[in-house]
Amino acid sequence: MVEELDKVDRRILKFLQVDGRLTNAELAGKVNVSPATCHRRTQRLFEEGFVSGVRAQIDPERVDRSALVIVGVVLDRSTPESFAEFEDVVRKADYILDCHLVAGDFDYFLKIRTRDMADFNRLHGKELIALPGVRQTRTFFVMKEVTDNAPLQF
């Protein structure tokens, strides 16, 4: 699929990753094409799914969610049904930012933001251990965010 992107398309994508609020005129100037060409190319990138969405990045501290927690989850059974049930519930859980099925000692890694450790403790006791099929969790409190959601390099 990457073969469908030329140099201009790649530059458009790179600039949009850094600042999704660029106007078409600003973006056209940065990639050195006319505004009409830039608009047409940007629309195609959206329509063909190269860009899946544009959203604001919220400062977690400003909305009282400064504690970042990664949770490793082990399910009690490794069956397609248990994975599907777990994933269905996780998709609906508004407190889970990311969920990744992984290979290794855990089945899933969850990324969660809370106010603080006490808030996470409450969430863990009421929500996380009640997720379907959960046998074990291991919690990692993030001490420092070195990089988060860095732009894709391609």
Residue 153 in any domain: the answer is no
Q: Which domain holds residue 29?
A: 2-47
pLDDT in the model for residue 2 = 54
pLDDT digits (tens, 9 = 90+) for 80-114: 999 999 999 999 999 999 999 999 999 999 999 99
pLDDT in the model for residue 135 = 96
> Is residue 40 domain-shared with residue 66, that is, in the same domain?
no
pLDDT in the model for residue 4 = 84
> Is residue 72 domain-shared with residue 38, that is, in the same domain?
no
> Is residue 83 domain-shared with residue 42, that is, in the same domain?
no
> Is residue 70 domain-shared with residue 118, that is, in the same domain?
yes
What value does the mean pLDDT take over residues 57-65?
A: 95
pLDDT digits (tens, 9 = 90+) for 101-150: 999 999 999 999 999 999 999 999 999 999 999 999 999 999 999 998 88
Q: What is the mean pLDDT of the chain?
A: 95
The number of folded domains in the chain is 2
Give the CATH number, domain containing residue 34. 1.10.10.10
Residue 32 in any domain: the answer is yes
> Is residue 87 domain-shared with residue 136, that is, in the same domain?
yes
SS (H, E, C) the chain: CHHHCCHHHHHHHHHHHHCCCCCHHHHHHHHCCCHHHHHHHHHHHHHCCCCCCCCCCCCHHHHCCCEEEEEEEEECCCCHHHHHHHHHHHHHCCCEEEEEECCCCCCEEEEEEECCHHHHHHHHHHCHHHCCCEEEEEEEECCCCCCCCCCCCC
